[in-house]
């Protein structure tokens, strides 16, 4: 790491945009090979449109 990276890191984080994150995710993650975990109360998740993969 370069000297001073810790001082410049907050500024670099502020430059990150949701669009930039989406671009990198689209480039790096193949949706066909991606598995994710969502944690929460089942009633809240189903209201939001999520369904359990293997039954609840």
User: What pLDDT was estimated at residue 52?
Assistant: 78
CA distance 38 to 27: 22
HSE value, Cβ hemisphere, 13 Å, CA-based, for 23: 5
User: What pLDDT was estimated at residue 30?
Assistant: 83
Domain contains 11: yes
Number of domains in the chain: 1
HSE value, Cβ hemisphere, 13 Å, CA-based, for 11: 5
Provide the residue range defining the domain that includes 38.
5-47
Domain contains 16: yes
Grouping H, G, I as helix, E, B as strand and the rest as coil, residue 40 is coil
Domain contains 18: yes
- What residue spans of the chain are helical by DSSP H? 5-14, 18-28, 42-47
pTM of the predicted protein model = 0.45
Domain contains 34: yes
Which residue ranges in the chain fall short of pLDDT 50? none
Domain contains 54: no
Domain contains 53: no
């Amino acid at each position: 790491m370069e000297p001073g990276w810790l001082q410049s890191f907050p500024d670099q984080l502020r430059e990150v945009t949701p669009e930039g994150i989406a671009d990198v995710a689209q480039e790096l993650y193949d949706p066909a090979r991606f598995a994710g975990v969502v944690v929460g109360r089942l009633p809240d998740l189903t209201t939001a449109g999520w369904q359990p993969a293997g039954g609840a």
